[in-house]
Amino acid sequence: MKYLYLPLMILYAVALPCEAALVTWNLVDVKIAPGGWDNGTSATGWLTYDAKKMTVVDWDIVSPGHFVPCCHHFDIEFRAPHASCGASCEGSFVDVVPEAAPGGGSVALYFSRTEGEGNSLLLTTAQPLTDVGGTVTLLPSYSKFHCCGSAALSWPITSGVLMAVPEPPARLVLAFGLVALLSLRQLSRAEYRGKNT
């Protein structure tokens, strides 16, 4: 009985240094200004960010309803390349640039597609992205959508935020498990003493 909680303590000790600071941020109310032949559109989706390594590990962003003269409407997708999405996300990548705007703490997230028309989406935050989540405003003057591989074909992001609620850390879940296990141990001791008196 005294070794009952030993496996949980070992698991806690192993998980503590391995814990990743991954937070999934959702794009909320991200608007792209009208320009050229586009009437203005939006961007929706999410990205998973590792604040400790300052990297985006996964993403799925869509900008719907783009328009080319003479009846061609299309959506632009930025998806992390992995086996489950096949050819629809080939050539998609993201760069993270810290301190991307004056004032300090900003982070630029540059999503790009190298195949096809070479579209890109630049989202620059007003504050750093951390592992505690929250709401972070995008900086319109440093955020843009570029079309067709041309710097001349770009439209500003006029509004939007990134919003996240982090997953509970592994050490917190393990701590709750340890407390529950120790409580059960105390209860079983009390029951044993009650039977022997």
Over the stretch 59-98, which tens digit does the pLDDT of each residue have? 999 887 666 555 556 677 787 876 565 555 566 788 898 8
CB 42 within 8 Å of CB 121? no
| Residues 6+ positions from 118 with CB-CB distance below 8 Å | 112, 148, 149
In sequence order, which residues have a C-beta less than 8 Å from that of residue 39 and are 6 or more positions away? 67
Q: Which residues are 121's β-sheet partners? A: 111, 145
Q: Spell 128-162 as b/e; 16+ CB within 10 A means b.
A: ebbbebeebebbbebbbbbbeeeeebbbbbebbbb
pLDDT for 75: 72
At residue 33, the pLDDT reads 84
d(CA 80, CA 90): 8
Please, how many CA atoms are within 13 Å of residue 69, restricted to the half-sphere of its CB?
Answer: 3
User: Could you tell me the pTM of the whole model?
Assistant: 0.69
Blockwise average pLDDT, block size 10, the chain, 197 residues: 53 52 92 70 90 92 71 70 60 85 86 76 91 91 80 82 75 65 68 65
Q: 24, 42, 25: which is closest to 33 by C-alpha?
A: 42
